[in-house]
Structure 1
Amino acid sequence: MFGLDDFKSFVPAHDVGDWVEATFFDPSSPVANPEHDHLANAHIGYLWTVVENNRKGKRVIGQCETGSPQGAMGKWPRARAEQQVVEWFGSVPDFIITLDAEYCQQCGDAEFMALVEHELYHAAQDVDAFGAPKFNKMTGQPVFTIRGHDVEQFIGVVRRYGPDAAGVRAMVDAANRPPEIARAHIEHSCGTCLLRVA
Protein backbone atom coordinates (compact mmCIF):
# COMPACT_ATOMS: atom_id res chain seq x y z
CA MET A 1 0.00 0.00 0.00
CA PHE A 2 2.73 2.45 1.03
CA GLY A 3 6.02 2.53 2.88
CA LEU A 4 6.13 4.10 6.33
CA ASP A 5 9.82 5.04 6.02
CA ASP A 6 10.32 8.78 5.50
CA PHE A 7 6.57 9.23 6.02
CA LYS A 8 5.37 12.71 6.97
CA SER A 9 2.93 13.19 9.83
CA PHE A 10 0.02 13.63 7.40
CA VAL A 11 -0.06 12.81 3.68
CA PRO A 12 -3.02 13.12 1.30
CA ALA A 13 -4.34 9.68 0.38
CA HIS A 14 -5.79 10.38 -3.07
CA ASP A 15 -5.66 6.67 -3.88
CA VAL A 16 -8.14 5.99 -1.08
CA GLY A 17 -10.64 8.42 -2.59
CA ASP A 18 -10.46 6.65 -5.95
CA TRP A 19 -10.81 3.27 -4.21
CA VAL A 20 -13.83 4.45 -2.15
CA GLU A 21 -15.60 5.69 -5.27
CA ALA A 22 -14.97 2.45 -7.16
CA THR A 23 -15.75 0.22 -4.17
CA PHE A 24 -18.66 1.82 -2.31
CA PHE A 25 -20.12 4.52 -4.60
CA ASP A 26 -20.09 2.83 -8.03
CA PRO A 27 -23.39 0.91 -8.40
CA SER A 28 -21.65 -1.77 -10.49
CA SER A 29 -19.34 -2.70 -7.57
CA PRO A 30 -20.31 -5.94 -5.83
CA VAL A 31 -19.99 -4.17 -2.46
CA ALA A 32 -21.55 -0.84 -3.46
CA ASN A 33 -23.54 0.73 -0.64
CA PRO A 34 -26.55 2.88 -1.62
CA GLU A 35 -26.59 4.26 1.93
CA HIS A 36 -23.68 6.47 0.79
CA ASP A 37 -25.53 7.89 -2.25
CA HIS A 38 -25.78 11.30 -0.56
CA LEU A 39 -21.97 11.50 -0.81
CA ALA A 40 -21.85 11.04 -4.59
CA ASN A 41 -21.08 14.73 -5.15
CA ALA A 42 -19.39 15.42 -1.81
CA HIS A 43 -15.74 16.43 -1.82
CA ILE A 44 -14.03 14.09 0.63
CA GLY A 45 -10.34 14.43 1.39
CA TYR A 46 -8.47 11.41 2.76
CA LEU A 47 -5.28 11.54 4.83
CA TRP A 48 -2.79 8.92 5.96
CA THR A 49 -1.14 9.63 9.29
CA VAL A 50 1.57 8.03 11.42
CA VAL A 51 0.83 10.29 14.38
CA GLU A 52 -0.19 8.08 17.30
CA ASN A 53 -3.56 9.12 18.66
CA ASN A 54 -5.13 7.74 21.83
CA ARG A 55 -8.30 9.08 23.37
CA LYS A 56 -10.04 7.84 26.52
CA GLY A 57 -7.60 4.93 26.69
CA LYS A 58 -8.25 3.68 23.16
CA ARG A 59 -6.17 3.88 20.00
CA VAL A 60 -7.78 6.04 17.33
CA ILE A 61 -7.44 4.46 13.87
CA GLY A 62 -9.81 6.70 11.92
CA GLN A 63 -11.65 9.98 12.14
CA CYS A 64 -14.14 11.86 10.00
CA GLU A 65 -14.52 15.61 10.41
CA THR A 66 -15.82 18.51 8.40
CA GLY A 67 -13.27 20.02 6.03
CA SER A 68 -13.38 23.55 7.41
CA PRO A 69 -11.18 24.14 10.45
CA GLN A 70 -13.28 23.81 13.62
CA GLY A 71 -13.05 25.12 17.14
CA ALA A 72 -11.89 28.33 18.71
CA MET A 73 -9.13 29.64 16.45
CA GLY A 74 -7.87 33.12 15.79
CA LYS A 75 -8.00 34.55 12.28
CA TRP A 76 -4.40 33.65 11.40
CA PRO A 77 -4.43 30.07 12.76
CA ARG A 78 -7.73 29.44 10.94
CA ALA A 79 -6.35 30.87 7.68
CA ARG A 80 -3.15 28.83 8.10
CA ALA A 81 -5.13 25.61 8.70
CA GLU A 82 -7.38 26.32 5.72
CA GLN A 83 -4.34 27.00 3.51
CA GLN A 84 -2.88 23.60 4.46
CA VAL A 85 -6.16 21.85 3.60
CA VAL A 86 -6.35 23.62 0.23
CA GLU A 87 -2.73 22.64 -0.53
CA TRP A 88 -3.60 19.01 0.20
CA PHE A 89 -6.93 18.79 -1.65
CA GLY A 90 -7.19 21.75 -4.07
CA SER A 91 -10.07 23.29 -2.09
CA VAL A 92 -11.67 22.88 1.31
CA PRO A 93 -13.46 19.49 1.18
CA ASP A 94 -16.84 18.80 2.73
CA PHE A 95 -15.22 16.11 4.89
CA ILE A 96 -11.72 14.94 5.79
CA ILE A 97 -11.22 11.30 6.75
CA THR A 98 -7.92 10.57 8.48
CA LEU A 99 -6.67 6.98 8.66
CA ASP A 100 -3.92 5.50 10.83
CA ALA A 101 -1.41 4.31 8.22
CA GLU A 102 0.30 1.81 10.52
CA TYR A 103 -2.98 0.12 11.43
CA CYS A 104 -4.17 0.10 7.81
CA GLN A 105 -0.93 -1.46 6.60
CA GLN A 106 -1.34 -4.39 9.02
CA CYS A 107 -5.10 -4.99 9.07
CA GLY A 108 -7.03 -7.32 6.80
CA ASP A 109 -9.23 -6.29 3.88
CA ALA A 110 -12.47 -6.65 5.85
CA GLU A 111 -11.13 -4.52 8.72
CA PHE A 112 -9.96 -1.83 6.31
CA MET A 113 -13.30 -1.78 4.49
CA ALA A 114 -15.20 -1.66 7.80
CA LEU A 115 -13.02 1.20 9.07
CA VAL A 116 -13.48 3.30 5.93
CA GLU A 117 -17.23 2.64 5.83
CA HIS A 118 -17.52 3.49 9.54
CA GLU A 119 -16.00 6.89 8.81
CA LEU A 120 -18.19 7.33 5.71
CA TYR A 121 -21.28 6.73 7.85
CA HIS A 122 -20.27 9.76 9.94
CA ALA A 123 -20.33 11.88 6.74
CA ALA A 124 -24.01 12.77 6.47
CA GLN A 125 -26.35 15.16 4.77
CA ASP A 126 -28.04 17.35 7.35
CA VAL A 127 -31.83 17.23 7.71
CA ASP A 128 -34.42 19.88 8.47
CA ALA A 129 -36.91 19.87 11.36
CA PHE A 130 -39.14 17.46 9.39
CA GLY A 131 -36.34 14.98 8.63
CA ALA A 132 -36.01 15.97 4.96
CA PRO A 133 -32.52 16.37 3.44
CA LYS A 134 -31.24 19.93 3.84
CA PHE A 135 -29.89 21.96 0.89
CA ASN A 136 -28.14 25.33 0.75
CA LYS A 137 -30.74 27.90 -0.39
CA MET A 138 -28.14 29.90 -2.37
CA THR A 139 -26.27 27.10 -4.15
CA GLY A 140 -28.73 24.21 -4.03
CA GLN A 141 -25.89 21.99 -2.79
CA PRO A 142 -26.42 19.53 0.07
CA VAL A 143 -25.67 20.76 3.58
CA PHE A 144 -23.35 18.26 5.24
CA THR A 145 -22.82 17.42 8.90
CA ILE A 146 -21.16 14.83 11.11
CA ARG A 147 -23.58 12.08 12.13
CA GLY A 148 -23.47 10.14 15.38
CA HIS A 149 -24.15 6.43 15.71
CA ASP A 150 -27.48 4.81 14.95
CA VAL A 151 -27.39 3.18 18.37
CA GLU A 152 -26.14 4.69 21.58
CA GLN A 153 -27.51 2.56 24.40
CA PHE A 154 -26.32 0.61 27.43
CA ILE A 155 -26.17 -3.18 27.31
CA GLY A 156 -27.85 -3.30 30.72
CA VAL A 157 -30.87 -1.36 29.43
CA VAL A 158 -31.24 -3.76 26.49
CA ARG A 159 -30.77 -6.78 28.76
CA ARG A 160 -33.33 -5.54 31.31
CA TYR A 161 -35.98 -3.96 29.06
CA GLY A 162 -35.41 -5.49 25.63
CA PRO A 163 -34.38 -4.10 22.25
CA ASP A 164 -37.74 -2.48 21.49
CA ALA A 165 -37.88 -0.47 24.72
CA ALA A 166 -34.24 0.53 24.29
CA GLY A 167 -34.80 1.60 20.66
CA VAL A 168 -32.25 -0.82 19.23
CA ARG A 169 -34.48 -3.39 17.48
CA ALA A 170 -33.01 -2.70 14.01
CA MET A 171 -29.46 -3.12 15.37
CA VAL A 172 -30.36 -6.42 17.09
CA ASP A 173 -32.02 -7.71 13.93
CA ALA A 174 -28.96 -6.74 11.87
CA ALA A 175 -26.64 -8.41 14.39
CA ASN A 176 -28.63 -11.65 14.18
CA ARG A 177 -28.06 -11.91 10.42
CA PRO A 178 -24.75 -13.01 8.87
CA PRO A 179 -22.53 -10.13 7.66
CA GLU A 180 -23.21 -8.99 4.09
CA ILE A 181 -19.52 -8.68 3.23
CA ALA A 182 -17.24 -10.27 5.85
CA ARG A 183 -16.60 -10.46 9.54
CA ALA A 184 -14.47 -7.56 10.70
CA HIS A 185 -13.29 -6.23 14.05
CA ILE A 186 -12.35 -2.56 14.41
CA GLU A 187 -13.60 -2.05 17.99
CA HIS A 188 -14.45 1.50 19.04
CA SER A 189 -11.39 3.15 17.55
CA CYS A 190 -12.91 6.11 15.72
CA GLY A 191 -11.79 9.58 16.74
CA THR A 192 -15.13 11.00 15.66
CA CYS A 193 -16.98 8.63 18.02
CA LEU A 194 -14.62 9.09 20.95
CA LEU A 195 -15.08 12.86 20.78
CA ARG A 196 -18.78 12.27 21.51
CA VAL A 197 -18.36 9.72 24.31
CA ALA A 198 -19.21 11.23 27.68
Structure 2
Amino acid sequence: MKRPMPPKEIGVFDFDWSMHNDVPYDFRPDEDLKDWVWSTFIDEEGELCNPDHVHLSYYNRDLIGFMWASRPFEKGGHIVLGQAEQVAIMAGGWKRKRQELQMVQWFSYIPKYIITIDAGFAESASDSDFCALVEHELYHIGYELDHEGEMYISPTTGRPKLKMRGHDVEEFHGVVQRYGASPDVQKMVDLVNDGPTIGKAKIAHACGTCLLKLA
Protein backbone atom coordinates (compact mmCIF):
# COMPACT_ATOMS: atom_id res chain seq x y z
CA MET A 1 0.00 0.00 0.00
CA LYS A 2 1.63 3.22 -1.18
CA ARG A 3 2.04 5.83 1.50
CA PRO A 4 -0.43 8.72 1.26
CA MET A 5 0.75 12.19 0.30
CA PRO A 6 -0.69 15.48 1.55
CA PRO A 7 -3.36 17.19 -0.57
CA LYS A 8 -2.05 19.67 -3.12
CA GLU A 9 -4.52 22.34 -2.00
CA ILE A 10 -3.25 22.46 1.58
CA GLY A 11 -2.35 26.02 2.56
CA VAL A 12 -4.42 27.55 -0.25
CA PHE A 13 -6.96 30.06 1.08
CA ASP A 14 -9.80 31.89 -0.66
CA PHE A 15 -9.24 34.89 1.60
CA ASP A 16 -6.59 37.41 0.52
CA TRP A 17 -3.98 37.39 3.28
CA SER A 18 -1.56 39.69 1.45
CA MET A 19 -2.49 42.59 3.76
CA HIS A 20 -1.90 40.52 6.88
CA ASN A 21 1.43 39.80 8.56
CA ASP A 22 0.56 36.37 9.88
CA VAL A 23 -0.62 33.90 7.25
CA PRO A 24 -2.56 31.16 9.08
CA TYR A 25 -1.65 27.53 9.20
CA ASP A 26 -3.84 25.09 7.35
CA PHE A 27 -4.73 21.69 8.79
CA ARG A 28 -6.30 18.85 6.83
CA PRO A 29 -7.46 15.57 8.38
CA ASP A 30 -6.62 12.49 6.32
CA GLU A 31 -8.44 9.20 6.79
CA ASP A 32 -6.22 7.58 4.15
CA LEU A 33 -3.13 8.45 6.19
CA LYS A 34 -4.76 6.98 9.29
CA ASP A 35 -5.69 3.77 7.47
CA TRP A 36 -2.19 3.49 5.99
CA VAL A 37 -0.51 3.92 9.37
CA TRP A 38 -2.84 1.41 10.99
CA SER A 39 -2.50 -1.16 8.21
CA THR A 40 1.26 -0.74 7.95
CA PHE A 41 2.47 -0.55 11.57
CA ILE A 42 -0.34 -1.67 13.89
CA ASP A 43 -2.33 -4.45 12.21
CA GLU A 44 -0.75 -7.84 12.85
CA GLU A 45 -0.60 -8.63 9.15
CA GLY A 46 0.89 -5.23 8.29
CA GLU A 47 3.97 -5.20 6.09
CA LEU A 48 5.96 -3.27 8.70
CA CYS A 49 3.98 -4.36 11.75
CA ASN A 50 5.72 -3.34 14.95
CA PRO A 51 4.90 -5.41 18.07
CA ASP A 52 5.67 -2.33 20.17
CA HIS A 53 2.37 -0.87 18.94
CA VAL A 54 0.26 -3.93 19.76
CA HIS A 55 -1.54 -2.09 22.58
CA LEU A 56 -3.11 0.21 19.98
CA SER A 57 -4.68 -2.77 18.19
CA TYR A 58 -7.04 -3.24 21.14
CA TYR A 59 -8.81 -0.08 19.94
CA ASN A 60 -10.54 0.79 16.68
CA ARG A 61 -8.93 3.18 14.22
CA ASP A 62 -10.89 6.17 15.50
CA LEU A 63 -8.57 6.19 18.52
CA ILE A 64 -6.18 8.47 16.62
CA GLY A 65 -6.94 11.30 14.22
CA PHE A 66 -4.23 12.05 11.65
CA MET A 67 -3.68 15.48 10.14
CA TRP A 68 -1.41 17.33 7.74
CA ALA A 69 -0.11 20.78 8.69
CA SER A 70 0.64 23.24 5.90
CA ARG A 71 4.06 24.04 7.36
CA PRO A 72 6.20 23.24 10.41
CA PHE A 73 6.65 25.46 13.43
CA GLU A 74 9.72 26.37 15.44
CA LYS A 75 10.24 25.74 19.14
CA GLY A 76 13.44 26.25 21.07
CA GLY A 77 15.43 26.61 17.86
CA HIS A 78 14.13 23.30 16.49
CA ILE A 79 11.89 22.81 13.49
CA VAL A 80 8.91 20.63 14.42
CA LEU A 81 7.80 18.19 11.72
CA GLY A 82 5.46 15.95 13.74
CA GLN A 83 3.55 15.95 16.98
CA ALA A 84 1.41 13.52 18.95
CA GLU A 85 -1.01 14.92 21.49
CA GLN A 86 -3.78 13.65 23.71
CA VAL A 87 -7.11 15.33 23.12
CA ALA A 88 -8.15 16.99 26.36
CA ILE A 89 -11.05 19.41 26.17
CA MET A 90 -10.86 21.18 29.52
CA ALA A 91 -13.40 23.93 28.83
CA GLY A 92 -17.12 24.01 29.56
CA GLY A 93 -20.22 25.56 28.04
CA TRP A 94 -20.07 26.92 24.50
CA LYS A 95 -16.26 26.91 24.49
CA ARG A 96 -16.30 23.15 24.99
CA LYS A 97 -19.00 22.73 22.35
CA ARG A 98 -16.96 24.77 19.85
CA GLN A 99 -13.91 22.58 20.41
CA GLU A 100 -15.97 19.41 20.08
CA LEU A 101 -17.57 20.73 16.89
CA GLN A 102 -14.12 21.45 15.42
CA MET A 103 -13.08 17.84 16.06
CA VAL A 104 -16.24 16.47 14.49
CA GLN A 105 -15.85 18.75 11.47
CA TRP A 106 -12.29 17.55 11.00
CA PHE A 107 -12.69 13.84 11.67
CA SER A 108 -16.47 13.16 11.97
CA TYR A 109 -15.66 11.87 15.49
CA ILE A 110 -13.69 13.02 18.54
CA PRO A 111 -10.39 11.10 18.68
CA LYS A 112 -8.50 10.37 21.87
CA TYR A 113 -5.20 11.37 20.25
CA ILE A 114 -4.11 13.46 17.27
CA ILE A 115 -0.93 13.01 15.25
CA THR A 116 0.02 15.91 12.99
CA ILE A 117 2.65 15.68 10.24
CA ASP A 118 4.19 18.56 8.29
CA ALA A 119 3.00 18.32 4.68
CA GLY A 120 6.17 19.83 3.21
CA PHE A 121 8.33 17.26 4.96
CA ALA A 122 6.08 14.42 3.76
CA GLU A 123 6.36 15.55 0.14
CA SER A 124 10.16 15.38 0.08
CA ALA A 125 11.03 12.78 2.74
CA SER A 126 12.34 9.33 1.90
CA ASP A 127 10.18 6.38 2.89
CA SER A 128 12.54 5.59 5.77
CA ASP A 129 12.50 9.14 7.12
CA PHE A 130 8.72 9.37 6.83
CA CYS A 131 8.13 6.01 8.51
CA ALA A 132 10.59 6.89 11.27
CA LEU A 133 8.75 10.12 12.07
CA VAL A 134 5.32 8.44 12.04
CA GLU A 135 6.50 5.62 14.29
CA HIS A 136 8.19 8.10 16.61
CA GLU A 137 4.81 9.77 17.13
CA LEU A 138 3.08 6.41 17.61
CA TYR A 139 5.59 5.52 20.33
CA HIS A 140 4.41 8.52 22.32
CA ILE A 141 1.04 6.80 22.78
CA GLY A 142 2.08 4.27 25.39
CA TYR A 143 0.34 2.22 28.06
CA GLU A 144 0.21 1.89 31.83
CA LEU A 145 2.10 -0.91 33.59
CA ASP A 146 0.79 -3.20 36.30
CA HIS A 147 2.63 -3.98 39.55
CA GLU A 148 4.67 -6.64 37.74
CA GLY A 149 5.81 -4.25 35.04
CA GLU A 150 3.54 -5.78 32.39
CA MET A 151 0.98 -4.02 30.23
CA TYR A 152 -2.05 -3.25 32.37
CA ILE A 153 -5.32 -4.53 30.93
CA SER A 154 -8.40 -2.92 32.42
CA PRO A 155 -10.79 -5.56 33.84
CA THR A 156 -13.67 -3.25 32.91
CA THR A 157 -12.86 -2.58 29.25
CA GLY A 158 -10.51 -5.49 28.49
CA ARG A 159 -8.13 -3.01 26.86
CA PRO A 160 -4.81 -1.46 27.86
CA LYS A 161 -4.95 1.85 29.69
CA LEU A 162 -3.18 4.33 27.41
CA LYS A 163 -1.01 7.30 28.31
CA MET A 164 1.42 9.73 26.73
CA ARG A 165 4.98 8.49 27.17
CA GLY A 166 8.48 9.89 26.85
CA HIS A 167 11.61 8.33 25.43
CA ASP A 168 13.21 5.08 26.52
CA VAL A 169 16.55 6.86 26.94
CA GLU A 170 16.95 10.35 28.39
CA GLU A 171 20.48 11.25 29.50
CA PHE A 172 23.08 13.97 28.98
CA HIS A 173 26.06 13.22 26.75
CA GLY A 174 28.45 14.55 29.41
CA VAL A 175 27.10 12.16 32.06
CA VAL A 176 27.59 9.17 29.76
CA GLN A 177 31.07 10.38 28.84
CA ARG A 178 32.15 10.81 32.47
CA TYR A 179 30.33 7.93 34.16
CA GLY A 180 29.46 5.44 31.45
CA ALA A 181 26.18 4.18 30.08
CA SER A 182 23.26 3.21 32.27
CA PRO A 183 21.48 -0.05 31.36
CA ASP A 184 18.93 1.86 29.28
CA VAL A 185 21.60 3.81 27.42
CA GLN A 186 23.65 0.65 26.89
CA LYS A 187 20.61 -1.04 25.41
CA MET A 188 20.32 1.80 22.91
CA VAL A 189 24.02 1.47 22.06
CA ASP A 190 23.61 -2.28 21.48
CA LEU A 191 20.64 -1.67 19.18
CA VAL A 192 22.61 0.90 17.18
CA ASN A 193 25.52 -1.52 16.82
CA ASP A 194 23.16 -4.25 15.61
CA GLY A 195 22.01 -1.95 12.80
CA PRO A 196 18.52 -0.94 11.65
CA THR A 197 16.01 -3.66 10.84
CA ILE A 198 14.28 -1.59 8.15
CA GLY A 199 16.47 1.26 6.98
CA LYS A 200 18.40 4.29 8.14
CA ALA A 201 16.43 7.44 8.81
CA LYS A 202 17.48 11.02 9.44
CA ILE A 203 15.03 12.34 12.02
CA ALA A 204 16.36 14.59 14.77
CA HIS A 205 14.64 17.16 16.99
CA ALA A 206 11.60 16.99 14.73
CA CYS A 207 8.96 16.02 17.29
CA GLY A 208 6.85 18.70 18.91
CA THR A 209 5.73 16.27 21.61
CA CYS A 210 9.34 15.88 22.73
CA LEU A 211 10.11 19.58 22.57
CA LEU A 212 7.22 20.33 24.89
CA LYS A 213 9.18 18.48 27.58
CA LEU A 214 12.55 20.13 26.95
CA ALA A 215 13.76 22.41 29.73
CA contact (8 A) 1:94 1:144 kept: no
In the alignment, residue 160 of structure 1 is paired with which amino acid? R
CA gap 1:36/1:195 in 2 versus in 1, 3 angstroms: same
- Aligned to 2:49, which of 20, 24, 32? 32
CA distance in 2, matches of 1:3, 1:93: 21
**Is residue 121 of structure 1 aligned with residue 160 of structure 2?**
no
Deviations 1:63-115 (A, max 9, x none): 00113336xx4543333122211222232212110010111111111000000
Cα deviation for residue 121 of structure 1 reads 0.3
- Aligned to 1:89, which of 98, 104, 107? 107
Residue equivalent to 1:55: 75
Map 1:36-185 onto structure 2 (within 5 A): 36-40=53-57, 41-42=59-60, 43-69=63-89, 73=91, 75-128=93-146, 130-135=148-153, 138-164=156-182, 167-185=184-202
* Greater Cα offset, 126-135 or 149-158: 126-135
What is the number of residues matched between the two proteins?
Answer: 195
Larger Rg: 2
Deviations 1:13-56 (A, max 9, x none): 11111111221123333421011000111511100011431111
Q: Secondary structure at the match of 2:129?
A: helix
Residue equivalent to 1:7: 11
CA distance in 2, matches of 1:131, 1:107: 37
Cα deviation for residue 153 of structure 1 reads 0.2
Q: Secondary structure at the match of 1:48?
A: strand
TM-score normalised to structure 1 length: 0.88
- Aligned to 1:19, which of 11, 14, 36? 36
CA distance in 2, matches of 1:135, 1:79: 32
Identity of aligned residues (%): 43
CA distance in 2, matches of 1:52, 1:91: 25
In the alignment, residue 56 of structure 1 is paired with which amino acid? G
After superposition, the CA RMSD in angstroms is 2.1
Residue equivalent to 1:193: 210
CA contact (8 A) 2:6 2:68 kept: no
CA gap 1:29/1:140 in 2 versus in 1, 3 angstroms: closer
CA distance in 2, matches of 1:37, 1:23: 12
Cα deviation for residue 2 of structure 1 reads 3.5
In the alignment, residue 49 of structure 2 is paired with which amino acid? A
CA distance in 2, matches of 1:22, 1:148: 24
Gaps in structure 2 of 5+ consecutive residues? 13-25
TM-score normalised to structure 2 length: 0.81
CA distance in 2, matches of 1:128, 1:65: 23
